[in-house]
Structure formats: structure tokens, C-alpha cells
Chains A and B, each alone.
Chain A
Amino acid sequence: TQLLEQSPQFLSIQEGENLTVYCNSSSVFSSLQWYRQEPGEGPVLLVTVVTGGEVKKLKRLTFQFGDARKDSSLHITAAQPGDTGLYLCAGALGYKYIFGTGTRLKVLA
């Protein structure tokens, strides 16, 4: 049973479009992280959100943590080909980090 479900699983869009990726769970997390992974490499942290309702911005990326700390979203404005990659959310449960199923994004020039 996957604790963290991400949607959509795949996304192919044109450069300049906006998109939102969702990360949902029935569990409450003490914090939630978003990572991006390139082919042949390990995931790299983008952001950590801690407080319910928290919003963080990283250039064109906006991250939101749900009020109940069970879900999160990642919104990308005016996507660029450099945004292409696998996006993973990860929730902190005690000592463990549980990862979502991943969203594979492809931005076409």
C-alpha cells in the first residue's frame, strides 16, 4: 500500500504552460519535502514545508502544504524545458521518509 499518491503520473506539456502536481495521503506528516530527479542521478531536494497551510516559492515553483499536513501541491508557472524531470514528494514519519509514486514531467520546446 502506497502511503503517498501523486498525480498525475505523467505530464507532457508545451513550454510556457502552467501545471500542478498533487501529493495526497491519509497520514499526517511532520514535514513534507519535494525532490527532483534527473536520469541516472539521485533525487535532489527542492523544498521542505513544515507548517499546515504553508506556501513556499522557489522562482517559478510554488509549493503548498495542506492545512491538515496530509497533502501538498507543486505548481510550476511558465514551464521551461529545464523543468523536465521526475518530481517526488516525501513525507516525514518519525525517523522515516516515505516517498510518493512520482510525477514524470516533460516540457517540450
Chain B
Amino acid sequence: NAGVTQTPKFRVLKTGQSMTLLCAQDMNHEYMYWYRQDPGMGLRLIHYSVGEGTTAKGEVPDGYNVSRLKKQNFLLGLESAAPSQTSVYFCASNRDRGPDSPLHFGNGTRLTVT
């Protein structure tokens, strides 16, 4: 099994450009999450989904949109990129809310906005 796959791995955008980050999981997990990781800040939750067709805001949702049209995919969109969105983005998924259902992470997308 591939687990959680993120594409692309790297991307450079100019201010104002748009892009979509794709996350795909093959574990039939219900819950999926998008985090951003910045030095000294740990991981901050952008948006999450508790099932196909549902999305909810996390800690830092501004400037991002998400969609979960299929259970296995969770898309993160930047409509008008800003330098403050330069970060490493991680997608994660888990089966349910139980304590024996850890988060499974992808290997990240490194985004630079100039």
C-alpha cells in the first residue's frame, strides 16, 4: 500500500498565482487533514474533513480552500498565493476518532511563493 501520497513534492509560485495540492490515501480512512509546518511553529491545522463531501476549518484556514469529492482524495487550493503561504504542507488521514487510530502522513509538499 502507498499510504498517503501528496503531489507535487515541490512548487514555486509567484504572488497571485493559484494552485491545487492533491492528497490521496488508499487506506479507506474517513478523516483527512491538511497541515502547514513552519520553523518553530510545529504543525498547524488548515482544514480537515470527517468524511466524503464534508470539510471544516482548522486553526489557520484563511487563504485556503479544500474539497473532498471522493473519500480517498483531499484537495487543498490556494486561489491567490501570498509569500506568507511559503511553507511545507502535510496531508494526513486516520480511520476514526479513537485513540488507536493514529494519523498517517504524506511526505509533504514544499511550496515557495515569491
Contact = CB atoms under 8 A, between A and B. Distances in A.
Nearest to A5: B42
Contacts of A31: 99
Chain A interface size band reads: 20 to 34
A90 B105 CA distance: 13
A48 B42 contact: no
A40 interface: yes
A43 B40 contact: no
Interface string B84-97: 00000010100001
Nearest to B90: A42
A92 interface: yes
Given A42-B106, A95-B48, A95-B56, A88 B42 contact: yes
A44 B105 contact: yes
16 contacts: A35-B103, A40-B107, A40-B108, A41-B108, A42-B4, A42-B105, A42-B108, A43-B103, A45-B103, A48-B99, A88-B43, A92-B99, A96-B33, A96-B48, A99-B42, A101-B41
